[in-house]
């Protein structure tokens, strides 16, 4: 007998749960409050009143090759070919010197060692500190108490050099976790290195969508994920009533700040959750400012640059609390001033237009001790399940985490219907 499931939330968590359950023949109704799918990982028209308006991503999103479930979801949608992967990651210093992180001929875990040793932005003491700290990380990764310690404290305990902290550990961790090392659980930080950088010879490769993010989800609306999946955009669900009979099962796939209102009877205790912001700065110049496809920008406010077109770049600042009080003009000025220091061509370029997006509620803050507060997919109401990047996924707030939560909720719903199905990979 075909089961009916109502999914609330059309972000990656809801979409992946929908794709999974539609694939086993369930009747799926997906409700999304906004006019478009993708939630926090999406794009929208810059000028909604103009029919041909350019679509921009709310912010540049990247994934790593180790994001198995996200890539599986993209495969289901037929869009895995729309992700460009980079096996060389660029680090740029003020003044323009470029370093590369890329794998060498050695097997894991030495595949990146050649790059570490060549890094021009670290001296020999920093490199020694970096390599010995990575070894310590490998030795201690099974420690049971890692979620009780901040990564900042753990690094302090390893006596990492100041320069390796500022130019290696902090840039990687802040962009991967959207939180400062001092405020991040060491458990989450360890995972970035264990699964991402050091997991396999290719796991560190960075993927960037070659199309606006919203286009990745077209398959959900056009029947490619099955005619049994119906998408309802502009459909805000104020409250899930599990006894209404509208569906057999319900999945709430909304951010943590929305979940309690949607399901008050669950009495979710989410007081420990806080947000961490991300700021994206879109800049269109009158000429190209760099040939690099992307770069981690060291020692300045802007943390990453992504080239999105000939003369269009996006800068990203994670855990961007310091930027929140600034006006858009001040943020644009800071981004342009940073770019001029990194890329000589930017000094000659004229800014044609700009757009700043401050996502104050970008992700939850991955602070120490929070793991225990992340609920699983199963709730005390037998036909109601939770999904979302903030639930207990084993991953920090990322697109991979969101898809993992969607697959887990779909598996739990299938189990409740006595169907043993596995969607989650790895
Ligand atoms: C600026 C920014 C940059 C990021 N960069 C990266 C990155 O580079 N790499 C990475 O992996 N992750 C990144 N993330 C994190 C990533 O976007 C999220 O972890 C992920 O998209 C969360 O998906 P989700 O489905 O759990 O939640 P959401 O995407 O928030 O989806 C929830 C959906 O529910 C809808 N909704 C809420 N209430 C209701 C209701 N009552 N009725 C109907 N619908 C409702 C919302 O409109 C939303 O579409 C970034 C996030 C932001 C904001």
Domain coordinates of the chain in residue numbers? 4-61+211-273+368-416, 104-197, 275-364
Say how many Å lie between the CA of residue 304 and the centre of ligand 1: 20
Residue 363 Cβ < 6 Å to ligand 1: yes
What pLDDT score was predicted for residue 44?
A: 87
Which own/partner pairs from 42-46 qualify as long-range (CB within 8 Å, at least 24 positions apart)?
42/213, 42/214, 42/217, 43/212, 43/213, 43/214, 43/215, 44/214, 46/355
Say how many Å lie between the CA of residue 185 and the centre of ligand 1: 21
What pLDDT score was predicted for residue 50?
A: 86
User: What CA–CA distance (Å, rounded) separates 33 from 265?
Assistant: 22
What pLDDT score was predicted for residue 70?
A: 98
Which stretches in the chain have pLDDT values below 70? 1
**Alpha-carbon 199 to chain mean position:** 18
Q: Which of 77, 378, 393, 405 is nearest to 249 (CA)?
A: 378
Both tokens of residue 119? 């890094």
CATH (one of 2.60.120.680, 3.50.50.60, 1.10.540.10, 3.40.1620.10) for 4-61+211-273+368-416? 3.50.50.60
17 neighbors 253 (Cβ within 8 angstroms) = yes
User: What CA–CA distance (Å, rounded) separates 66 from 70?
Assistant: 9
Question: Tokens 């989650």 sit at which residue?
Answer: 424
Residue 171 Cβ < 6 Å to ligand 1: no
Say how many Å lie between the CA of residue 37 and the centre of ligand 1: 10
Non-local (6+) Cβ contacts of 404 within 8 A are 69, 393, 394, 395, 424
Residue whose CA is at the smallest distance from ligand 1 atom 38: 254
Cα atoms found within 13 Å of the Cα of residue 366, Cβ hemisphere only: 37
Second-level CATH architecture of 104-197: Orthogonal Bundle (1.10)
What pLDDT score was predicted for residue 225?
A: 95
Residue whose CA is at the smallest distance from ligand 1 atom 12: 398
Say how many Å lie between the CA of residue 392 and the centre of ligand 1: 16
**From the alpha carbon of 237, which atom of ligand 1 is closest?**
42
Alpha-carbon Rg for the chain in angstroms: 22
Residue 101 Cβ < 6 Å to ligand 1: no
Residue 362 Cβ < 6 Å to ligand 1: yes
What are the DSSP calls for 236-269, one per residue?
--S---TTS-S-SEEEE-S-HHHHHHH-GGG---
Residue 216 Cβ < 6 Å to ligand 1: no
Say how many Å lie between the CA of residue 79 and the centre of ligand 1: 19
SS3 content of the chain, % helix, strand, coil (to 5): 35, 20, 45
The residue count of the chain comes to 426
Say how many Å lie between the CA of residue 361 and the centre of ligand 1: 9
Does this model's pTM top 0.85? My answer is yes
CATH (one of 3.10.20.30, 3.90.550.10, 3.90.660.10, 3.40.50.1370) for 275-364? 3.90.660.10
């Amino acid at each position: 007998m075909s089961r009916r499931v109502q999914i609330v939330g059309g972000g990656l968590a809801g979409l992946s749960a929908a794709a999974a359950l539609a694939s086993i023949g369930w009747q799926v109704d997906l409700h999304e409050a906004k006019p478009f799918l993708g939630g926090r990982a999406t794009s929208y028209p810059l000028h909604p009143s103009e029919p041909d308006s350019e679509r921009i991503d709310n912010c540049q999103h990247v994934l790593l090759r180790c994001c198995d479930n996200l890539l599986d979801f993209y495969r289901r949608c037929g869009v895995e070919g729309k992700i460009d992967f980079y096996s060389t990651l660029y680090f740029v210093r003020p003044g323009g010197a470029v370093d590369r992180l890329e794998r060498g001929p050695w097997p894991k875990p030495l595949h990146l060692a050649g790059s570490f040793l060549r890094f021009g932005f670290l001296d020999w003491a920093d490199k020694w500190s970096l390599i010995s700290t990575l070894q310590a990380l490998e030795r201690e990764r099974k420690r049971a108490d890692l979620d009780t310690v901040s990564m900042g404290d753990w690094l302090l305990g390893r006596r990492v050099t100041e320069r390796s902290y500022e130019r290696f550990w902090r840039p990687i961790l802040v962009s991967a976790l959207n939180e400062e090392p001092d405020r991040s659980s060491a458990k989450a930080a360890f995972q970035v290195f264990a699964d991402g950088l050091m997991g396999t010879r290719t796991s560190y490769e960075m993927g960037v969508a070659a199309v606006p993010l919203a286009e990745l989800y077209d398959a959900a609306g056009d029947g490619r994920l099955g005619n049994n999946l119906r998408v309802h955009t502009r459909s805000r669900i104020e409250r899930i009533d599990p006894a209404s009979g509208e569906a057999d099962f319900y999945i709430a796939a909304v951010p943590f700040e929305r979940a309690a209102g949607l399901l008050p009877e669950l009495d979710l205790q989410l007081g420990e959750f806080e947000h961490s912001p991300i700021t994206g700065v879109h800049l269109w110049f009158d000429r190209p400012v760099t040939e690099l496809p992307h770069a981690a920008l060291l020692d300045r406010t802007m943390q990453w640059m992504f080239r999105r077109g000939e003369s269009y770049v996006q800068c990203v600042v994670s855990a961007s609390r310091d930027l929140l009080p600034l006006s858009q003009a001040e943020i644009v000025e800071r981004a342009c001033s940073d770019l001029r220091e990194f890329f000589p061509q930017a000094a000659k370029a004229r800014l044609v237009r700009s757009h700043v997006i401050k996502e104050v509620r970008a992700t939850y803050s991955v602070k120490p001790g929070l793991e225990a507060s992340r609920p699983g997919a199963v709730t005390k109401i037998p036909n109601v399940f939770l999904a979302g990047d903030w639930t207990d996924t084993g991953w920090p707030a990322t697109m991979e985490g969101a898809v993992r939560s969607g697959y887990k909720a779909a598996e739990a719903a299938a189990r409740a219907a006595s169907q043993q199905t596995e969607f989650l990979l790895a």
